[in-house]
Amino acid sequence: MRILTKTSLYYLLVSVIVFLLGGLSFYKIMQVEIYDEVDDQLFTDKENILEYIRQNNELPSVTSGISEAILVKEVTVASPTLEALSDTLIFSAYDEEFLPFRKLTFTTYQDGKPYQYTILKSLMDFDDLSESTMLAMGWIFLLLLFGLVTVNYIINRFAWANFYDTLAKVKGYSLSRFQPLHLRSSNTREFQELNEVLLAMTDKIHGDYLNLKEFTENASHEIQTPLAIVSSKLELFMQSENLTPQQATMLEEMYSSVNRLGRLNKSLILLTRIENREFSEREQLPLHELLKEQLEQLHEIMEMHDLELLPPKLEAVYLTMNRGLAEVLVSNLLLNAIRHNQPAGTIEVRLSQEQLCISNTGSALEGTPEELFRRFMSSKDQAGSLGIGLALVSKICTVYRLQPSYTYTDGLHRLCIKFQKNRA
């Protein structure tokens, strides 16, 4: 929800509360004032009736009308009503409904006989006024709502135009293809300060990125060269005829460590390039065909480890991603299933429209499943493992918004990659 929409909703909520409380308060105040006015008229009529009786020594004539009426009757009870105010409803044959009236009842004496007077005054004016007031407040509220929507649209269209332009350019910003942010100048102080901060920040980030990229490339080049030299020298040294068994063992360990260091360097370089989003090329990739190719290439390795590949269940699935990263993703998942398997174990590959799952037998995982995709995490019994394979898988999943998951049940490891949101 946008900030202007949220602000407008808050204003609307406050306006509703204020209108309800204000309308109720206004209704009560108006009711009290009208009742006071009607009561004053009733008491004035009472004084006029009493004054007429004193002056003329006779009862005044009884009147009856739509808006007011004066009724009189002789009282025969022992204790007549001296004075009482109340509300009542009287049926109107003209309107065919009950109408509200204010009633004053009092008792006076004429020739020693008690007579009860009832003075009635209509409250229809109050009801009409209340309805008119509520209707007017309703129209005012609708006008306020229309005004809020209009103001919100105008502010969103013009006052915040620079902000949304800046936001769109920041979203499209990429370190791999650096283009300076060309932000529109704004006469709003906060937006102008935001633009200045973003420009300074992106320039600093780009400079750091270039330095890191240069260092990575130089390190990769400078490290690979001496590693290749050391590896070739060790190979020549291992071919010598006058080596003792102890020397041959030491040379073999050194050669293995050098090769492992070379693979580690390549994997870290690849991991850094993935994190820097350097693989921008994408294509519609047939994942099922890629899996078949990888399984054929790794078939001999599975036989060497005495592993059984169950018949793969592959549906035709197409993903939009970089082919090189897709091959790394699939290869690392399969190699992980081979390395962390048990003797005479099994591997099962299933590909559906929703996910890719690779299962393999093996002992329970040491540590938590969350640690599985971290860098340099591997089983203690896998001396040759670099601990980066699943870290690469995790980074590739992050780039393409895939969802990796891991479960272990009944001696079976199960790694799944969900790609519902990434379907081509």
Q: Is the pLDDT of residue 221 over 80?
A: no
Whole-number Å distance between alpha carbons of 117 and 50: 10
Contacts 24+ apart (CB under 8 A), 229-237: 230/258, 231/255, 231/258, 231/259, 231/262, 234/258
- Tokens for 68? 């007011």
Looking at the domain covering 283-422, what would its CATH class be? alpha beta
How many Cβ atoms are within 10 Å of 27's Cβ, its own excluded? 15
Q: What is the pLDDT of residue 65?
A: 55
Burial of 182 (0-12, 13-18, 19+ CB in 10 A): exposed
Whole-number Å distance between alpha carbons of 404 and 392: 12
Question: Which amino acid, 420?
Answer: Q
* Cβ within 8 Å of residue 390, ≥6 positions away: 332, 336, 372, 373, 377, 415
pLDDT mean over 190-215: 84
Q: Is the pLDDT of residue 185 over 70?
A: yes
| Torsion angle in degrees (nearest 10) through CA of 339, 341, 347, 352 | -70
| β-bridge pairing 308-309 and 346-351 | parallel
- Tokens for 233? 């020298």
Question: Sign (positive/negative) of CA torsion 149, 150, 151, 157?
Answer: positive
Distance of CA 296 to the CA centre of its chain: 44
Q: Is the pLDDT of residue 80 over 70?
A: no
Q: Which of 64-78, 81-95, 159-173, 377-391 has the highest mean pLDDT?
A: 159-173
Of the ranges 90-94, 274-278, 382-386, which one carries the lowest mean pLDDT score?
382-386
- pLDDT tens-digit readout, 349-393: 999 989 999 999 988 877 666 666 664 444 444 444 445 667 788
Biggest alpha carbon–alpha carbon distance for the chain: 155
- List the one residue out of 266, 329, 263, 331 whose CA is nearest residue 297: 331
| Torsion angle in degrees (nearest 10) through CA of 365, 370, 373, 374 | -110
Q: What is the pLDDT of residue 253?
A: 82
Whole-number Å distance between alpha carbons of 331 and 358: 11
Sequence spans of domains, the chain = 3-154, 163-278, 283-422
Q: Which of 86-95, 244-253, 306-315, 387-396 has the highest mean pLDDT?
A: 306-315
Q: What is the pLDDT of residue 77?
A: 64
Higher pLDDT, 343 or 12: 343
Q: Is the pLDDT of residue 18 over 90?
A: no
Q: What is the pLDDT of residue 79?
A: 61
- Per-residue b or e along 225-254, where b marks 16 or more CB atoms closer than 10 Å to that residue's CB: eeeeebeeebeeeeeeeeeeeeeeeebeee
Q: What is the pLDDT of residue 346?
A: 93
- pLDDT tens-digit readout, 108-132: 877 778 888 888 888 776 767 777 8
